[in-house]
Amino acid sequence: MNQFKTVALLGLLSGLLVAVGYYLGGSGGALMGLLFAAATNLFSWYQSDKIALAAYGAQPITPAEAPGLYNMVKKLSDRAQLPMPRLYIVPSPSPNAFATGRDPEHAAIAVTQGIIQLLPEDELEAVIAHELSHVKNRDTFTQAVAATIAGAISWLAQVLQYSLFWGGSRDDREGGNPLGLLVGIFVAPLAATIIQMGISRTREFAADNGSAELTGNPRALARALQRLEAGAQQIPLEANPAFAPLLIVESRSGQFLVNLFRTHPDTQSRIENLLKVEKEMQAQGRLTNSMGF
């Protein structure tokens, strides 16, 4: 079901891109929009890991520098039948982590100094398992595609604004609909952002479930999420907002309007999902040690 939602949301993004391109330049504009997205997707496929790591100032670490962390990631990678990812440390007291890379063979996992200091071993292991699940599900690539298409829509909307300012839109010249112009400039980029956030939220539940399967301890991730949300709100991890969907938790809080633009499901919903998974695993005899909150 999550895969279906992801494909459907990516399809909506692509449809928006074609619609804005068509409004800007007819069938030729739609084609140019698709070609632009294809070119930027190719770039992001090869460079997304470097860009994300640089955005957070992540520094590579060796097994000698962090043997405990390295052994933890190696054990979980072997269990998940994944290649050992490159490891990075983000020099920030904000507790957070993320995975990046175009495929499992080119993956990287970054953790902040804050998360290492905050979480006990079983909870840090659950976080690492969550990130490895993103790698296994190729979510990092999906997010790169979503971000690129959403960015292309925003760029085309800006072009539409400039063309209107300097000489009018195609619809102006043909006596077109001003409502369509409003949609192209304002509504389409907003819708693209909301759809991009929806893709991220869908993939987070899948990675949470993957962590539970990999560690056999869903409650460890539930406890970690509680700690991380509180810590991330107190000390946000600053970077380009485009990379926020990569993080395991975000710093925003609030009700409807703010939640609409959340890159992640609200933490309580994620915890409830993990406790439901715990009951299912317990009934099947697949739980390891699972302490209470």
Whether 229 sits among the annotated catalytic residues: the reply is no
| pLDDT value for 172 | 46
Q: In sequence order, which residues have a C-beta less than 8 Å from that of residue 101 and are 6 or more positions away?
A: 48, 49, 85, 107, 108, 135, 140
DSSP SS3 for 68: helix
2 touches 206 (CB < 8 A)? yes
| pLDDT value for 197 | 62
- Which region holds residue 101: left if phi is over 0, alpha if psi is between -120 and 50, else beta? left
E-assigned strand segments in 244-291: none
CA–CA dist 229, 170 (Å, integer) = 47
| pLDDT value for 273 | 96
DSSP SS3 for 8: helix
| pLDDT value for 1 | 46
Q: Residue 55 CB: number of other CB atoms within 10 A?
A: 16
Long-range contacts of 99-102 (CB under 8 A, 24+ apart): 99/131, 99/132, 99/134, 99/135, 99/139, 99/140, 99/246, 100/48, 100/49, 100/52, 100/53, 100/140, 100/246, 101/48, 101/49, 101/135, 101/140, 102/45, 102/46, 102/48, 102/49, 102/140, 102/141, 102/144
| pLDDT value for 171 | 47
Query: Residue ranges per domain, the chain?
Result: 2-283
Nearest to 266 by CA among 210, 217, 189, 200: 200
CA–CA dist 157, 171 (Å, integer) = 14
Number of alpha carbons in the 13 Å side-chain half-sphere of residue 38: 7
Q: Which segments in the chain show pLDDT lower than 70?
A: 1-34, 36-45, 143-201, 240, 242, 251-263, 289-293
21 touches 30 (CB < 8 A)? yes
* Catalytic entry in 123, 125, 131, 250: 131
277 touches 207 (CB < 8 A)? no
> Mean pLDDT, the chain, as a whole number?
77
Number of alpha carbons in the 13 Å side-chain half-sphere of residue 66: 18
In this structure, what token pair is assigned to residue 277?
A: 């998974």
pTM equals 0.76
